[in-house]
Amino acid sequence: MLLAAGMAGCQTSETDTNTSGGTDATGGLPGTGVSVTPGYIVLEERFQTEIVNIGLEKMGYTIGDQKELEAGPLHIELGNGDVDFATAHWENIHREFFEASGGDEAMERVGIIIENALQGYLIDKATADEYNITNIEQLTDPTIAALFDTDRDGKANLTGCTTGWGCELVIEHHLDAYGLRDTVQHDQGKYFALIADTITRAKQDEPVLYYTWTPLWLGGVLVPDQDVVWLEVPFTDLPEAQGEVSEADTTANGKNLGFAVEQIYVIANQNFVDNNPAATKFMSLVQLPINDISAQNQLMQEGEDSVEDIRAHAEDWVAKNQVTFDDWVKQAIAVQ
């Protein structure tokens, strides 16, 4: 997927002279007078961003223009305060971007918003069953790799990551670590354009090889264990920047997928955190079921993909979870 920087002084823009949020002596809302700039990497992440926005608005904050940025630039802007928060910081795959943009001195991982997100490589089930393919290492065999050769250059075509995403670094690392460089071509471009072509080929019963992640609508179109299967890796080997990652860390449902099972965080600029304890508390409380994210992403895939649609999806989610949501807001406002 997903990702150096200098420090900035004031991290939060204002609608008046306020530079921070806090309950005033008259009992006003903690965010009164403060404008907040959210950021996200892809439109599919805007849903959880809007849920956080709704809570901040209830606490008096004004939501400014939202920024859609690639992972690296997003972390740079989080570090220097041009973006106040984001809701899709992947703990491992974005670690290199985090450290390069100021790390713990510039940003804070406020709380886990989505638990146990997966990434990995998949192929169509028909080809997997016919040729007994279970592990990506089997693609070192030119005969197996040729099954997925769509441009007739002798290499398997792997639908991969947008340049600049954190997953790009891992895929490129894997091609060397697993000896795949000579038999697998990492196809890069805009991910969702590439994956649309992959879906078309899969629906025409052609072999496909691609990278993806959860939560994402793709799992409802090409369903694991029904249309496609996850491939294992021969051993865990990740970029050094991710630190110590064991086989247990990259294993899900009994398969070593090669990517660490991820916790997705709300991340915020450190100065924003220091000056806005109520907002920080709210962000730390928000948790969304991974299936709810996938379901909303599926609505986007079906055509409800405007920013207005996504905002409506977020409002619907809040309405269905009103008691819990209101409790998050209440706890946050109580923070002085």
| pLDDT tens, residue by residue, 149-180 | 999 999 999 999 999 898 999 999 999 999 99
- The predicted structure's pLDDT at residue 181: 98
CATH level 3 topology of 35-116+263-334: D-Maltodextrin-Binding Protein; domain 2 (3.40.190)
> Helices (DSSP H) in the chain: which residue ranges?
46-58, 71-80, 95-100, 103-106, 125-131, 142-145, 166-177, 191-203, 218-221, 270-275, 277-285, 290-301, 307-320, 322-333
Residues of the chain falling short of pLDDT 70: 1-27, 336
| Cβ-based burial of 325 (10 A; exposed 0-12, middle 13-18, buried ≥19) | buried
Q: Are strands 13-14 and 34-36 parallel, antiparallel or unpaired?
A: antiparallel
- The predicted structure's pLDDT at residue 22: 57
Q: Which of 321, 319, 315, 299 has its CA nearest to residue 44?
A: 299
Are the folds of 35-116+263-334 and 117-256 the same?
A: yes
Q: Cα–chain-centroid distance for residue 33?
A: 30
The Cα 30–Cα 28 span in angstroms is 6
**CATH placement of domain 117-256:** 3.40.190.100
- The predicted structure's pLDDT at residue 336: 64
Q: In the chain, where are the structural domains located? A: 35-116+263-334, 117-256
- The predicted structure's pLDDT at residue 28: 87
Entry pTM: 0.86
